[in-house]
Amino acid sequence: MTQNEKKLLQQFRSLTENQRETLLDFAAFLATREEVAEASEPAQPVPMERPAQESVVKAIKRLMATYPMLERNKLLHETSNQMTRHVIHGIPAVTVIDELEVLFHRHYEAYITPPDKKP
């Protein structure tokens, strides 16, 4: 085992179960990046389970990690609007998170649509 592998294992063991799952998801994402680059096909979302109790901020972070191929600048305005609806207007977190998931999926669909098929 190399020094880096030992260090990674030591750090992995110090994490909580949720952190370990996140690290494994991220490692899987990194592994697929090379495959995607070689295949020259659009990147696939990194599946992450939605926790039963989740804040809007954590949901945004989870969705950013799920869809790392999306440009954050393109999502900023709509994501901010959803956060404002929750914080200022009192829309329940669950409702806002549902709408954020639709928003991110819609942006992903636009990302994978070939340029010649876009309206």
Copy the structure tokens of residue 74: 């393109």
The DSSP H or E segment spanning 90 is none
What DSSP designation does 71 have? -
pTM attached to this predicted model: 0.63
Banded model confidence at residue 37, pLDDT cuts 50, 70, 90: very low
Cα 19 from chain centre:
15
The DSSP H or E segment spanning 72 is helix 72-87
Least confident piece of the model among 24-28, 64-68, 91-95: 24-28
Whether the CB-CB separation of 107 and 71 falls below 8 Å is answered with no
